[in-house]
Amino acid sequence: MHLKYLTRLAGALLLMHLLPSAALEFQVHDNNSMTLNAVLATGTIELDDMEKLHQYLGERTKKPNTAIYFDSPGGSLGGGIRLGEYFRRSRIKTVVEGGKTCASACALAFLGGTDAKGNRWMSTTTTSRLGFHAFRNADGSRNSDTDQTQQVVAQVLEYGHFVNAPTEIFIKNFNTPANDMYWFSTQESLDLGIKVWDIKNNCFVGESGCDGLSSPIPAKTDQPSPNHDAPLDFIRSYFFKIKKVPYPETWEMLSASLRTKTGFESYVDWWDKQVDKFSLDYTMALGANTVRAKLSYEMKNGKKVCSIDTLTVQFERGVWVVDEQQHQNCIKKR
C-alpha cells in the first residue's frame, strides 16, 4: 500500500462515519497468557495506529501468538488498511468478542487477521457486530471526484487482494450506502472464512458437536431464512469456494439428491480436469429459492465457454444447499 497516497487521503476520507469517540487505545486483554500476547484495541482508528501498535508490541515480551481484540466503530480508511496489512505481515489474529462492535475501518483492519502459520484467522461470535459500508468525505458528504473515488476503490481492492479477503465482502461494502451499515450474519461470516464462536454452547460454530443453535444459522429447520439475500449470498459463496477449497467441501454444498444425480467423480472431473479457471460474472434472484448465474470458463483444452445457469436452493440439514442446476451455453469460442 502506498503510504504517501493514504496520507494524502487521510484528511479527506473516513470510512463511513465521523465518530466522536476517543482515539484507538491498546491495553492488555484478559486472555493474555504465556503463549499469547492478547491486546484489547478500543476507540476510533487513526492513520498512525499501525505505528502505535508496533511500538506497543515492541515493548512487550515476544510470544508465539498475538491477537487483537477489537471494539471500534471505525475511523480512518487509511488507518484501517494499514493495520490490516500489519496484521497480515506480522501474523496477528483478529477477534471481535461477544457484544462488541467492529465496523467500517475496523472491519477492514479485521480482515487482515492471520495466524502464526500465515493462514487467515479472524474470529467473531454469535452476538458480535461486524459491519461494512461505503466511504465518504470527512464532512459527511459522498465523494463527487470520480478519479479520486476510483483510486480509493482500487486501493481498497488492492488491500483485499493482499489479505486474501473474499470479493463478496467488498461487494457488500461498496453497495451499502455511507449512511447505512451492512452487518454480516453468522452464516455469511462462516461462508467468508471467519470463525464464529457460539456464545450459548461455548464452541466454534461448525465444529463437531457445535450446531450453532444460538446463532442466526437455521438449525434443524426447513424454514427459509428471513434474509432475502441469503440464496444469492450462498450461491456466490459456493462458486467462490470452488477451486479454493478441497472438492469434498463444495460437494457437501449440494443436496443429497443432486449429489446422487451428479456423482462425485463427474463433479471433480469437470471442475478439476476440464475447467482451468472461471469467473462468476453476475447473479440474479429469480424467486425466493431460485438464482440465475452467469459464468465464464477457460477450459484446459483452450476453449472459452460461457453459461447462464439456473440454480434452485433449499434448506437441508439446517443449511442452504444447491438442489438443482440447469445450464444454458451463451458463448463458445476458441
d(CA 61, CA 73): 29
Q: φ, ψ for residue 29 (rounded to 5)?
A: -90, 155
> What is the rounded average pLDDT of the residues 214-224?
37
Question: Mean pLDDT in the chain?
Answer: 80
Sequence-ordered list of residues with C-beta below 8 angstroms from that of 233, at least 6 positions apart, any chain: 168, 187, 188, 191, 227
Residue 175 has pLDDT above 90, yes or no: no
Sign of CA dihedral 42, 43, 45, 48: negative
Residue 199 has pLDDT above 90, yes or no: no
Task: Convert the pLDDT of each residue in 227-251 to its tens digit.
Answer: 445 787 788 888 888 988 888 888 9
d(CA 156, CA 257): 41
The domains located in the chain, with CATH, are 3-204 (3.90.226.10), 230-333 (3.10.450.50)
Sign of CA dihedral 172, 176, 182, 185: negative
Least confidently predicted of 29-33, 73-77, 165-169, 271-275: 165-169
Task: Convert the pLDDT of each residue in 278-334 to its tens digit.
Answer: 988 888 888 778 888 889 999 999 999 999 999 999 877 667 889 999 988 885 444
- Residues of the chain with pLDDT > 90, as a percent, come to 41
> What is the rounded average pLDDT of the residues 52-66?
95
